[in-house]
Amino acid sequence: MKSRLLLLLGALSVTLPLSAVADKVVLAELCPQLVGEWQGSAANPALDPMAVTTSVMCSADQRNLYISVSRGSRFSNSETWWFRQQQETILLVYGNGVTEDVTQQLTLYQQADSFSFLGEGEINQRPALVQLQFDPIKANIQQPQGGWQWQQSAHYLDDDSEQYQVVRAISLLKP
């Protein structure tokens, strides 16, 4: 797993200037920026976008990040994403009340104002490198408080492609 992540980071460093290489960070760097109630839409390649609400909480020590995406985003139940800082890695427990909970080890990186959780797991019953990317949405006239674009992507290990495929994206905008 570590060698694949290093390979991935190596590939990123070839395509990005050295000054733009991501730094490894802890949850405390991301937690305070995501806390709150958000509205927006969720979309994946197979379905039309749906309106969702997203609640984000952090523990007092900022070592736990809890994200709840409202009912109707993908399943009839809400989804929960629980990220827990464990030494230098982050444990993710994902649940949707329909399928069995999924547990993954991830590493959090920051590049400029964006954050990426990277790890190895399984998506759609296929082994994959998983990326959960949070990119800031700059404030503008339509969205004066800004927000975040949360893109969930996979690079399937049984595929010769070197590209990540978007599995789903969720916009996090202040109501």
Q: Is the pLDDT of residue 44 over 80?
A: yes
Question: Does residue 140 contact residue 162 with C-beta atoms inside 8 Å?
Answer: no
Q: Higher model confidence: residue 72 or residue 49?
A: 49
**Integer angstrom CA distances of residue 144 from 61, 72, 101, 137:** 30, 27, 36, 10
Residue 19 is given by DSSP the state: G
* 13 belongs to a structural domain: no
Q: Is residue 159 part of a domain?
A: yes
Instruction: Please check whether residue 28 lies inside any domain of the structure.
Output: yes
**pLDDT confidence of 14, banded at 50, 70, 90?**
very low
**Predicted pLDDT of residue 48:** 86
**For 73-131, how does the pLDDT look when each residue is reduced to its tens digit (9 = 90+)?**
556 778 999 999 999 999 999 998 888 999 999 999 999 999 999 999 888 788 999 99
Enclosing H/E stretch for 15: helix 2-15
Q: Is residue 14 part of a domain?
A: no
Residue 5 maps to a domain: no
- Number of separate domains in the chain: 1
161 pLDDT more than 90? no
Q: Contact 96/77 with Cβ under 8 angstroms?
A: yes
Q: Which domain holds residue 131?
A: 22-173
pTM metric for this prediction? 0.83
52 pLDDT tier (thresholds 50, 70, 90): very high
Q: What is the CATH number of the domain that holds 68?
A: 2.40.128.20
From the list 170, 166, 74, 80, the residue with the least C-alpha distance to 123 is: 166
163 domain residue, yes or no: yes
Of the candidates 11, 22, 21, 6, the one whose C-alpha atom is nearest the C-alpha of residue 110 is 22
> Residue 75: its pLDDT value, please?
63
- Residue 101 in any domain: the answer is yes
Contacts of residue 14, Cβ cutoff 8 Å, sequence gap at least 6: none
Q: Per the domain annotation, does 119 fall within a domain? A: yes
pLDDT of the residue at 72:
59
- Give me the pLDDT at residue 3, please: 34
What pLDDT does 173 receive? 95
In this structure, the dihedral spanned by the alpha carbons of residues 91, 81, 129 and 123, taken in order and rounded to 10 degrees, is 130
Is the pLDDT score of 143 beyond 50? yes
Q: What is the pLDDT of residue 59?
A: 98
